[in-house]
Amino acid sequence: MTLLQRVKAPTPRFYKKLRNAGLTLAGVGTTLLGLPVSLPLLLQQVAGYLVVAGSVASAICQTTSDTRPNKPEVGYGR
């Protein structure tokens, strides 16, 4: 299975929820970094970590695919 096929394959429900949470974290971090005010250094670092962690979690969850067959194959039983 190629990476492109893996990304296009159906994603299990748990990983969809985790992917959306990662996208939310990345969005919050990006919003904090994009504010037009000066933030404390610690808050800037935390926002950067949120962006990285959310992006990585979303990418990993998107490449998780459900490859289990939906129905048993007819004729391949014992």
| 61, pLDDT greater than 80 | yes
CB-hemisphere CA count at 13 Å for 14? 3
Q: Which residue has the higher pLDDT, 40 or 6?
A: 40
Q: Kindly report, residue by residue over 8-55, the tens digit of the pLDDT.
A: 888 888 999 999 999 999 999 999 999 999 989 999 999 999 999 999
Please calculate the CA angle 48-51-54 and round it to the nearest 5 degrees: 140
User: What distance lies between CA 63 and its chain's CA centroid?
Assistant: 8
The residues near 72 (Cβ < 8 Å, ≥ 6 apart) are none
Give the residue extent of every domain in the chain.
8-62
Instruction: Write down the pTM of the prediction.
Output: 0.74
Query: In whole angstroms, how far apart are CA 63 and each of 12, 15, 31, 59, 69?
Result: 10, 9, 26, 7, 18
